[in-house]
Chain A
Amino acid sequence: GAGVSQSPSNKVTEKGKDVELRCDPISGHTALYWYRQSLGQGLEFLIYFQGNSAPDKSGLPSDRFSAERTGGSVSTLTIQRTQQEDSAVYLCASSEKGQGVITGELFFGEGSRLTVL
């Protein structure tokens, strides 16, 4: 597609349920990032993919959070046993990684707003 696509746009769930958030990056972008943005706050890094591998998953807040990327394209962020503090907007971004050149620009999706009741 023309831009980064995320689904669902909004998700309301009950505490303790599992949720999956999907990100479809810009075609050809090899780098993919997940960020979390709590209400009125900045962006908190969660995980970075280069192709299908995740060289940096240092931002995942607990073992309830996991992410995978298949075929070097679509990524899924899974939150198990959701808690109220997981409520936030989850943003996905992709970037074109040239041959050893950092382009620097991340292209963001519109995010998935998660509300845990």
Chain B
Amino acid sequence: AQTVTQSQPEMSVQEAETVTLSCTYDTSESNYYLFWYKQPPSRQMILVIRQEAYKQQNATENRFSVNFQKAAKSFSLKISDSQLGDTAMYFCAFMNGQAAGNKLTFGGGTRVLVKP
């Protein structure tokens, strides 16, 4: 079974600065997908960024970028130029690529607080 670990329960960052969230995972699969989801206080989970394991290039979405280290099974998220609206819980998630429509396995989450 796959496991996803987020070792930082909470992080704070000053507005406009950069914060990096760590995520490690354990799998024996070679084909899989990794995701970062954001959950603001409204509770609705929103996809931030995704990475296909077969792609070597790190994914970027505006101020969000990942550092995908496949051999180390590490998938960190960098938030640049942090904004107050980035305050939320962030969850790292894994999906097995072998079975279409398979479930997401989530990490325990990291709470990010952006301070003005």
A interface with B by C-beta (< 8 Å): 31, 33, 35, 41-43, 45, 48, 50, 56, 59, 89, 91, 93, 95, 97, 100-102, 104-106, 108-111
Contact = CB atoms under 8 A, between A and B. Distances in A.
For the side of the interface on B, what is the size category? 20 to 34
B40 to A, nearest CB: 11
B95 A104 contact: yes
B102 interface: yes
B33 to A, nearest CB: 5
Given A41-B108, A42-B109, A102-B95, A97 B43 contact: no
Interface of B: 6, 33, 35, 42-47, 50, 91, 95, 97, 100-109
B37 to A, nearest CB: 8
A55 to B, nearest CB: 8
